A and B are shown apart, each in its own frame.
Chain A
Amino acid sequence: MSLDPSRYAELFRTESREQLSAINRALLLLEQGGDAAEPISVLFRAMHTVKGMSATMGYHAVAEFAHELESVLDRVRRGDQLLAPDLMDALFASADALETAIDEGSEQAGQTPAMVAALQRLRDVAGGSSTSEFPGAPTKETGALVEVAVADPLDGPGVIVRVRQAADAMLPGVRAFMAVQRVRALGEVAAVNPSLDALQASAVPISFAMRVVTTASVDEIEHAVRSAGDVAFVEVDVSGRTRRESRSTIAVVAEGEEVTRASARSTRHVRIDLARLDALMNLIGELVITRGRLLQLTASNPDPALDESMQMAARLVSDLQTEIMTMRMVPVWQVFDRFPRLVRDSARALNKDVTFVVEGKEIELDRSLLDEIGEPIVHLLRNAIGHGIESPAERAAAGKPRAGRLVLSAARDRAAVLIRVSDDGRGIDRPRVLARARALGLVDEGTREVDDDALFRLIARPGLSTAEQVSDLSGRGVGIDAVQVKTRALGGSVELKTVAGEGTTITIRLPITLAIVRALLARSGTERYALPLTHVRETLEYDRDVVQHVKGKPVLVLRDEVLPLLDLRDVVRQRAAPFAGGPNREIVVIERGDRKSGLVVDELIGQQDIVVKQFDAARDGLALFSGATILADGAPALIMDVGSLFEGT
């Protein structure tokens, strides 16, 4: 369902080249003899993928050519066609022709001379043309794959089993050996990385991977690995059967005699399952924690040489972290591009006239965040079309253009990404919302006015809908509630601006990455809390000049602004403790949208990268935390959901 194929052209070329490399490698394997089943399946699957992709791109000549090749391979696979040397030659020639076509002549309607010649040759040796009709079916969705440039030492057929041993494993080398041994009972362990000898000799718990050719299920493999004991993590990756790519493999091929046949062009991209990136992210997360611990240890045992090495290692960890985070970043259009169609369909179903504009498509966001935020955006778009934008007649009567304008935009704001859904519709009907809220007892009887923040809190309550009629598309007003919950879970916040008759804007503020965030570490009494920098504006010392009292309540006077002041001790309900540090307290200025507030803490310990981990919430626990992290000394600390601090004020 691609909307603008030219956008995918580069992706198509990259992936087709990967598939061609796989094709060439499989052809070489076939020619070397041995078991043909696996290379034939690889060939067939790769050709099928190329066919589907070309058809989707509208490169019909390439698709038809791939289809012919696929049919021949299918016959070979079924044993209806003998794999004779002249067929091999024809297949190699076809692969070359396919490659040239993909590289140079993708768009042209007809087949290239090389393709025509190759097809002729193929028909000569493999008999008549294919019996099946070319279906022109598009390839299936690529799913959660991210494109990155890496080398993979476990190149080859089979599944990849990745294992991490428990940190307290005894004789870990033996455990690793046992894990390999247990898996051997299920199939052939074709490769182990690091080598089995190295594993066996390991005196420390280790992470390793093996490539296994087996018919066993993922569960069986996992169970076998775990039965070896002291396994902290095991993952079976079945996606790597066909498209693993490694530079070393290319190099070997290029040194051989087949330079002209095999692709001498080193492919720089490989598709990686998102789960593997997540695993990588978890590991780097633990490395970051360990680095923190080591830095603390070296600081307490001064030794210039050790210190220097430690600093170097710390820098390398930072670089590694940045690299991995960058690997995970994808432009928002990967999700945004499916919205125009959705907006069009919704608008039609509701008899609305909508002009849809998307801005900031190139802004990048962590892949997992982007995946999670898609659904909330759909809610907001549907709400805007269903409730915000008026019917053409109503708009005309109000002196507005008949077509409503709906804007979806993404923008960077320091350590955050802002995603905004904005319409020029009727705006939220404050009196109606208030009437409903009063009826439900959510506000005092006398309340007649409500600002945007309070209004948002009201409509975000489950069950309070302003829809005059329940529409299929926007549901019963549960949308905003879901948006709020999801955004919170991702460590972000939601803001609302609405003006009667002019329209509504909802802004989702998200951290750029999910797994590791930069945070300010603050002490309150003996406790430590992490405040993500996404919502921190600045910090200052607690000083009589900046803190004044208005109606008995302390406020922060910051330049020309007067901000409410909260005490972290009150926020986290610490029992009255002896006031540590006297006046030497500090203030963190936190913000959400236009609202700012001062948060008084006992001490600012510093900024650091923290790894966000989830925990099971206790009953009645305050809903102020988006997760927790493990500090350098091994103790857990809660991560404050700064946005939620504005709700009580």
Chain B
Amino acid sequence: MVAPTVLICDDAIFMRTMVSDILQQAGFEVVGEAETGAQAVERYKQLRPDLVTMDIVMPDMGGIDAVREITKFDPDAKVLMCSAMGQQALVVEAIQAGAKDFVVKPFQPSRVLEAVQRVLG
């Protein structure tokens, strides 16, 4: 069995590290990171990861537009949105754009893993 691959997109190193730790402990292989939406789209096309975690607010194309681009390229893309409290409307928009699920900061590892399981399940 090959470990599932993940692309982590967030403009904050801190958040990327944290998500990376959680997912690595759960047996994921982090194949790439992106700090802008544009990078996320580019890396996705390049790496074709099993899972993408996507921050909503990022410079140079936000997370929602990135989801839209990624889904256009690969309708089966599994994108998990990372949102903060109070971003209801944006999360709904992201889901409409094609994101499969979301988690809310601050992250609780168990919640992240639950969401990941739903997305990949």
Q: In the complex, A touching B, CB below 8 Å?
A: yes
Contacting residue for B92 out of A170, A200, A229, CB 8 A: A200
Q: Does A306 contact B (CB under 8 A)?
A: no
Contact among B95, B111, B114, B118 for A174, CB-based, below 8 A: B95
Cβ–Cβ < 8 Å partners of B101 in chain A: 178, 229
Report the minimal beta-carbon distance from B85 to chain A, rounded to whole angstroms: 7
Q: How far is the CB of A196 from chain B (nearest CB, A)?
A: 10
A171 touches B83 (CB 8 A): yes
Q: Is the Cβ of B92 less than 8 Å from the Cβ of A177?
A: yes
Interface residues of A in 156-183 (CB under 8 A from B): 170-171, 173-174, 177-178, 181
Checking A171, A173, A229 against B114 with a beta-carbon cut-off of 8 angstroms, the contacting residue is: A229
Q: CA separation between A173 and B104, bound complex, in Å?
A: 13
Q: Which of A171, A173, A201, A227 contacts B118 (CB 8 A)?
A: A227
Cα distance A170–B95 in the bound complex, in angstroms: 15
Indicate the member of B85, B88, B104, B114 with the most A CB atoms within 10 Å: B88
Residues 62 to 114 of chain B near chain A (Cβ within 8 Å): 83, 85, 87-89, 91-92, 95-96, 101-104, 111, 114
Question: In the complex, which residues of chain A have a beta carbon less than 8 angstroms from the beta carbon of B87?
Answer: 171
CB-CB contacts below 8 Å: A124-182 with B:
170-171, 173-174, 177-178, 181
B95:A178 contact, CB within 8 angstroms? yes
A170 touches B111 (CB 8 A): yes
- For the complex, what is the distance from the CA of A174 to the CA of B91, rounded to whole Å? 7
Beyond A227-B118, A229-B101, A229-B118, whether A173 also contacts B111 by CB under 8 A is: no
Given A227-B118, A229-B114, A229-B115, A171 and B104 contact (CB-CB distance below 8 Å): yes
CA distance A201 to B88 in the complex (A): 8
| Bound complex: CA A178 to CA B83 (Å) | 15
- CB neighbours (8 Å) of B118 from chain A are 227, 229
Bound complex: CA of A201 vs CA of B104, how far in Å?
16
Nearest A residue to B83 via CB reads A171
In the complex formed, the residue of A with least CB distance to B114 is A229
Chain A 491-537 interface residues, beta-carbon cutoff 8 Å to B: none
* Per-position binary interface string of chain A over residues 591-632, scored 1 when its CB falls under 8 Å from any chain B CB and 0 otherwise: 000000000000000000000000000000000000000000
Chain A 199-222, CB-CB to B under 8 Å as 1, else 0, gives: 011000000000000000000000
CB within 8 Å for A200 and B88 given contacts A171-B104, A174-B95, A178-B95? yes
Which residues in B have their C-beta under 8 angstroms from that of A181? Answer: 95-96
Shortest C-beta distance, B22 to chain A (Å), equals 16
Nearest A residue (CB) for B115:
A229
Task: Give chain A residues whose Cβ lies under 8 Å from the Cβ of B121.
Answer: 227
**Contact status of A170 and B104, CB under 8 A, knowing A178-B95, A181-B95, A229-B118:** yes
Q: How far is the CA of A201 from the CA of B89 in the complex (A)?
A: 8
Enumerate chain A residues within 8 angstroms of B102, measured Cβ to Cβ.
171, 174
Question: Chain A residues near B103 (CB, 8 Å)?
Answer: 170
Question: Contacts A227-B118, A229-B115; is A173 near B95 (CB within 8 Å)?
Answer: no
Q: Give chain B nearest CB distance to A479 CB in angstroms.
A: 48
Q: CA of A201 to CA of B92 in the docked complex: distance in angstroms?
A: 11
Q: Which residue of B lies closest to A170 (CB)?
A: B104
Contact B88 A174 (CB under 8 A): yes
Q: Which of A175-201 contact B (CB under 8 A)?
A: 177-178, 181, 200-201
**A-chain residues with CB within 8 Å of residue B111 when the two chains form the complex:** 170
Q: Which residues of B contact A200 (CB under 8 A)?
A: 88-89, 92
Interface centre among A174, A201, A227, A229 (most CB of B within 10 A): A174
Contacts of A171 in B (CB 8 A): 83, 85, 87-88, 91, 102, 104
Shortest C-beta distance, B79 to chain A (Å), equals 13
How many angstroms between the C-alpha atoms of A547 and B92 in the bound complex?
Answer: 69
For A168, the closest partner residue in chain B by CB is: B111
Measured in the bound complex, the distance between the Cα atoms of B95 and A177 in whole Å is 9
Cross-chain contact B92 with A174 (CB below 8 angstroms): yes
With most chain A CB atoms within 10 A of its CB, the pick from B85, B92, B111 is B92
Cα-based distance from A177 to B88 in the complex (angstroms): 10
For chain B, residues 7 to 36, give those with C-beta under 8 angstroms from any C-beta of chain A: none
Alpha-carbon distance A170/B92, docked complex (angstroms): 13
CA distance A171 to B87 in the complex (A): 8
Q: Which residues of A contact B85 (CB under 8 A)?
A: 170-171
- Give A246-257 as 1s and 0s: 1 = Cβ < 8 Å from B's Cβ atoms: 000000000000
Pairwise interchain contact B88-A173, C-beta atoms closer than 8 A: yes
Bound CA span A170–B81, Å = 13
Contacts of B91 in A (CB 8 A): 171, 174
Q: Please give, as numbers and ranges, the residues of chain A lying within 8 Å of B114 by CB-CB distance.
A: 229
Report Cα–Cα, A227/B117, bound state, in Å.
10
Complex CA gap A181/B102 in Å reads: 14
Task: Report B-chain residues with C-beta under 8 Å of the C-beta of A174.
Answer: 88, 91-92, 95, 102
Q: What CA separation (Å) do A173 and B89 show in the bound complex?
A: 9
A226: nearest residue on chain B (CB-CB)? Answer: B118
Closest Cβ of chain B to A220, distance in Å, is: 15
In whole Å, how far is B12's beta carbon from the nearest beta carbon of chain A? 20
- Give the residues in chain A near B83, CB-CB below 8 Å: 171
Interface residues of A in 225-248 (CB under 8 A from B): 227, 229
Using CB atoms, name the residue of chain A closest to B99. A178
- Chain A residue nearest to B104 (CB atoms) is A170
| Closest CB in chain B relative to A204 CB, distance in Å | 12
Inter-chain CA distance A174–B96, complex, in Å, is: 11
- Which residues of chain B are near A170, meaning CB under 8 Å? 85, 103-104, 111
* Closest beta carbon of chain B to A384's beta carbon, Å: 56
Query: Considering residues A171, A178, A181, which has the most beta carbons from chain B within 10 angstroms of its beta carbon?
Result: A171
A200 CA / B95 CA spacing, docked (Å): 12
B119 to chain A, nearest CB (A): 9
Question: Which residue on B lies nearest to A174, using beta carbons?
Answer: B91
Contacting residues, chain B, for A177 (C-beta < 8 A):
92, 95
Complex-state Cα separation, A177 to B114, whole angstroms: 18
CB distance from A223 to the nearest CB of B (A): 10
Which interface residue of B85, B95, B96, B115 has the most chain A CB atoms within 10 A? B95
Bound-state CA distance A614–B100 (Å) is 36
Cα(A539)–Cα(B104), bound, Å: 53
Task: Please report the C-alpha to C-alpha distance between residue A229 and residue B121 in the assembled complex, in whole angstroms.
Answer: 12
Residues of A within 8 A of B115 (CB): 229
| Cα–Cα, bound, A171→B115 (Å) | 13
- What are 14 pairs between A and B in contact, CB < 8 Å? A171-B83, A171-B85, A171-B87, A171-B102, A173-B88, A173-B92, A174-B92, A174-B95, A174-B102, A177-B92, A181-B95, A200-B88, A200-B89, A227-B118
Q: Which 9 A/B pairs are nearest by Cβ-Cβ distance?
A: A170-B104, A174-B91, A173-B88, A177-B92, A229-B118, A174-B92, A174-B88, A171-B88, A171-B104
> B residues near A, CB below 8 A?
83, 85, 87-89, 91-92, 95-96, 101-104, 111, 114-115, 118, 121
Q: A170-B111, A177-B95, A201-B88 provided; 11 other pairs, C-beta below 8 A? A: A170-B85, A170-B103, A171-B83, A174-B88, A174-B91, A174-B95, A177-B92, A178-B95, A181-B96, A229-B115, A229-B118
